[in-house]
Amino acid sequence: MKLYNSMTRSREEFVPLEEGKIRMYACGPTVYNFIHVGNARPIIMFDVLRRYFEYRGYEVTFVQNFTDVDDKIIRRAAEEGISAAQVAEKYIAEYFTDAVGLGVRPATVHPRATENIPQIIDMVQTLIDKGYAYQAGGDVYYSAEQFKDYGKLSHQPLEDLEAGARIDVSEIKRSPMDFALWKAAKPGEPSWDSPWGKGRPGWHIECSAMSNRYLGKTIDIHCGGQDLCFPHHENEIAQSEAANGCKFVNYWLHNGFISVDNKKMSKSLNNFFTVREAAEAYGYETIRMFMLSAHYRSPLNYSEESLSQAKNALQRLYTAKENLEFTAANAAAAELSASERDYTASLDKYRDKFISAMEDDFNTADAVSALFELVRDVNAAIASERDPSRALAAECLKRMTELSDVLGLLYSSADDGGLEAEVEELIAARQNARKEKNWAEADRIRDLLKEKGIILEDTPQGVKWKKQ
């Protein structure tokens, strides 16, 4: 597998630190609000990367953190008249609601910054002891100029970075590029005891400490949005490599930005949408399909047209799945015929195309195309057979599900159990009415189902139904 490494700005052969195992860290949200569509892109994309590695037989330890103490959380707490801890708890719960809706599996560990204060303090003290950090009053700062490789991820020398930085009059740090590892407590803010007095951690040190605790000193993959490359990830490298004396990450992966109607999504332009808002309009799974339709490093334009296209594409997959499920349950012939056996063997080429796309820098756009090629082929084959066997439909469904599961698609129907039972009951009642030649009752049931958005289709194998 080749992955584009932001550190080297090139595609590299992926070789894990330990054969058969992968250690992977993804920066999670700062929990002071609902996640927006821009936040959802790395959450979805790196969930798929993890799924793919597991599909290929790797044991993946996947860590995604929550930043649950931060200036934004403190401000939101003041606005809502609750504690910062309550704000964090509220929006962590909302995050999981959206993550489940998006089909995102829980990480192996979801550490919180506030649960790792001792580890953070230990790392800060190590940096002081090694001469990379200094105390200024109750604050502790990292001295960027002490780390000779500072800027290697963003590919900018320290002098250029300093030229674009400034020191506010109120700050007591020595250099513009120095950043806070520990912040002295202010009245009313959450704080913890430390060797430097009461205070709380800086943002960057949290991820370094949590990655070190749960994954070790050197990890395989660190991923996140392109906007985190500098300063967050740059600072993580400086902290982790200075503290541990070894390489921090082997492969850095960053996803591209999302624009809205071809303008960059940002809070300052007030053109961002929460995942919750987008899901109400299009459905969670449509958002996932939309994200997978482009290469993770490419910019992606959020628009009504693009979401509608994703919704229609998803519906084509569901229709194919439902037709295969129906045939697998109702066809007359049970076993594969000789020609059907040859046909199912020919479907392996779509798995090969899918894997080839994913191995080429995690190209989900081409992987999705391979899935649709499979679906078109299967649809044509089932339609052309005079009496396709149950085994043929089951084999085709198995191939389709294998690929869709890696992408994390076609999971929404699992929530329709109650509806399915009700529809099947009404269909049975309608069939009984027709048998008794009670056409008025049969028509009444059909109309009732139509009101519920259910369309019936009478076929030689029985009655099929689908949601409108």
For the chain, the structural domain boundaries read 2-255, 305-414, 416-467
- Provide the β-strand partners of residue 225: 255
pLDDT tens for each residue of the chain, 468 residues long: 999 999 999 999 999 999 999 999 999 999 999 999 999 999 999 999 999 999 999 999 999 999 999 999 999 999 999 999 999 999 999 999 999 999 999 999 999 999 999 999 999 999 999 999 999 999 999 999 999 999 999 998 888 887 767 666 557 889 999 999 999 999 999 999 999 999 999 999 999 999 999 999 999 999 999 999 999 999 999 999 999 999 999 999 999 999 987 777 766 677 778 999 999 999 999 999 999 999 999 999 999 999 999 999 999 999 999 999 988 988 888 899 888 999 999 999 999 999 999 999 999 999 999 999 999 999 998 887 678 899 999 999 999 999 999 999 999 854 454 566 677 778 878 887 788 888 888 888 888 888 777 888 776 656 777 776
Write phi, then psi, for 201 (nearest 5 degrees): -75, 155
- Cβ-count burial 26-37 (b if 16+ within 10 Å, e if not): bbbbbbbbbbbb
What is the pLDDT, as a whole number, of residue 468? 63
What is the pLDDT, as a whole number, of residue 461? 59
Q: What CATH number labels 2-255?
A: 3.40.50.620
What is the pLDDT, as a whole number, of residue 450? 81
pTM for the whole thing? 0.87
Scan for tokens 């007095």, then name that residue: 197
Distance spanning both ends of the chain, measured CA to CA: 41
What is the pLDDT, as a whole number, of residue 268? 64
E strand map for 171-225: 179-184, 199-201, 219-225
Scan for tokens 């960053």, then name that residue: 254
Nearest to 28 by CA among 135, 85, 110: 110
Q: What is the C-alpha to C-alpha distance for residues 211 and 222, in angstroms, rounded to an integer?
A: 9
Peptide bond into 299 cis (omega under 30): no
What is the pLDDT, as a whole number, of residue 414? 45
- Long-range CB contacts (within 8 A, 24+) of 18-23: 20/57, 20/58, 20/59, 21/58, 21/59, 21/60, 21/61, 22/53, 22/58, 22/59, 22/60, 22/61, 22/220, 22/221, 23/61, 23/215, 23/216, 23/219, 23/220, 23/221
The third-level CATH classification (topology) of the domain covering 305-414 is Four Helix Bundle (Hemerythrin (Met), subunit A) (1.20.120)
The total of other beta-carbon atoms located within 10 Å of residue 110's CB is 17
